[in-house]
Structure 1
Amino acid sequence: MKSVIHHIIKKAFFAKSLFIIITLLATIGSINAQSGYNIGQTVSDFQLKNIDGRMLSLSDNRNVKGYIVVFTCNHCPFSKAYDSRIVDLHSKFASKGYPVIAINPNDPNAYEEDSFANMRLTAPSKGFTFPYLQDETQEVAKAFGATRTPSCFVLKKEGDRFTVQYIGAIDDNMQDASAVNKKFVEDAVNNLLSGRPVMVNNTKAVGCAIKWKGF
């Protein structure tokens, strides 16, 4: 009888421990998902290393009207599918005051393809003519609340501040650029250039989970 009771207690303890672990992991994920900027909030400036070795900040370019900030990387198939569309966004809007800034937030220990050396090697083949920055500490991605690659944030310059006007996906079709129905980022920037509020300002980014250090 005692052995049966002991077995039941042991199973109950294991189940409780497992429940605590699952709950803790879910809580951590929830905290991470809820952190980051919201629409209308001011972005803190940052300094990150570009592939040319220079440190760049949002405030470096005083002539912009805003930025299209894209968290992306080298290895993710979703990011690869959007490379040419990111290039197109820069080509279309840089001259109008909304250039692209691409940021790689991934831990290169998880994927060697995402190392700084490989960023420098692959950017020309991707056609990147805009900054491609390494978020080595991952603090910028955490501040923005980015969780996937690619994730986009459209920022509007208001005085000396940059405020978030759009968060989410580039468009509604990762697989086929010719079949896109809604160009979320393009529409957001066009709204801002026309002096109108962004009609669709938040969508779900679809892509690879950012590879955080320590996990």
Structure 2
Amino acid sequence: MKKVKTASFLALLLAFCIQGTAFKADGYKVGDEVQDFSLKGIDGKMVSLSGQKEVKGYIIAFTCNTCPVAKTYEDRIIALNAKYAAKGYPVIAIQPNDVNASPGDSFQAMQQRAKSKGYTFPYLSDETQNITKAFGATNTPHMFVVRKEGEKFKVAYIGAIDNNQGDPQAASQKYVENAVNELLAGKTAVTTPSARAVGCGIKWKNA
């Protein structure tokens, strides 16, 4: 019965979402240096990678309020920040969708969602979508782990959080956690540097 329910749940998600098939050709690749950015958070303050001098890196989540897959991973993103922020890898969440195409991802809706879920990390709006394009994010959620080298940040991991959308306890591969753990252990390259991100396609502005 549990397997049937899980299969039905995944089928429902896929009915609402578009699977990502590849990273954008012009986006960051593993090993690339990430250019710093400045985006407005739900508290009205501007946030940048260089804003926290004590960090060892970041877990960057391109996510949103409306995607069913993003919602299933929301608690896992919250848990990642709870587990790794104090260890030097805090979460930064970025909402990439065009709000005209997805009104449920408006700035006000972002504020309401973050408050209702008790976000303890910055939730930023990429209104121009320039940062999303620079990273090459295609889906929500789409994860990037970046590690700090001197004053630079380099991409160490790109892709999915884990390999089970429906049940976090059933995930046999926790890609983001494994990557951060290896970086904290002193590795400069992680064992699994990428895994296909599966979720709703980002809602792009009309050209």
TM-score (norm 1): 0.84
- Structure 1, 193-202 or 97-106: larger mean CA deviation: 193-202
Gap regions ≥5 residues in structure 1 = 1-29
Match of 1:73 among 64, 82, 85: 64
Residue 102 of structure 1 aligns to a residue whose secondary structure is strand
Matched, 1:106 2:97: yes
Residue 34 of structure 1 aligns to a residue whose secondary structure is coil
Aligned equivalent of 1:10: none
Aligned equivalent of 2:84: 93
Aligned equivalent of 1:43: 34
User: For the Cα contact (< 8 Å) 1:84–1:127, is it kept in 2?
Assistant: no
Gap regions ≥5 residues in structure 2 = 1-20
Deviation of the 1:127 alpha carbon: 2.4
Matched, 1:206 2:194: no
Aligned equivalent of 1:187: 178
Match of 1:168 among 152, 155, 159: 159
CA distance in 1, matches of 2:179, 2:94: 20
CA distance in 2, matches of 1:179, 1:31: 25
Q: Which structure's residues are more often helix, by fraction?
A: 1
Aligned equivalent of 1:22: none
Aligned equivalent of 2:18: none
Residue 132 of structure 2 aligns to a residue whose secondary structure is helix
CA distance in 2, matches of 1:69, 1:127: 18
Q: Report percent identity of matched pairs.
A: 56
CA distance in 2, matches of 1:34, 1:97: 30
Which letter does structure 1 place at the counterpart of 2:82? Answer: S
Question: May I ask how many residue pairs the two structures share in their alignment?
Answer: 186
Which structure is higher in RCO with an 8 Å CA cutoff and minimum separation 6? 2
| Structure 1 segment 22-33 matched on structure 2, within 5 A | 33=24
- The root-mean-square deviation of aligned C-alpha atoms, in Å, is 1.4
Describe the superposition over 1:134-178 as per-residue Cα deviations: whole angstroms up to 9, x where unpaired: 000000000000000000000000000000000000000011112
Describe the superposition over 1:40-70 as per-residue Cα deviations: whole angstroms up to 9, x where unpaired: 1100000100000001100000000000000
CA distance in 2, matches of 1:127, 1:174: 22
Aligned equivalent of 1:56: 47
User: For the Cα contact (< 8 Å) 2:22–2:196, is it kept in 1?
Assistant: no
User: For the Cα contact (< 8 Å) 2:23–2:137, is it kept in 1?
Assistant: no
TM-score (norm 2): 0.87
CA distance in 2, matches of 1:213, 1:198: 34
CA distance in 2, matches of 1:35, 1:45: 17
CA distance in 1, matches of 2:26, 2:164: 26
Aligned equivalent of 2:131: 140
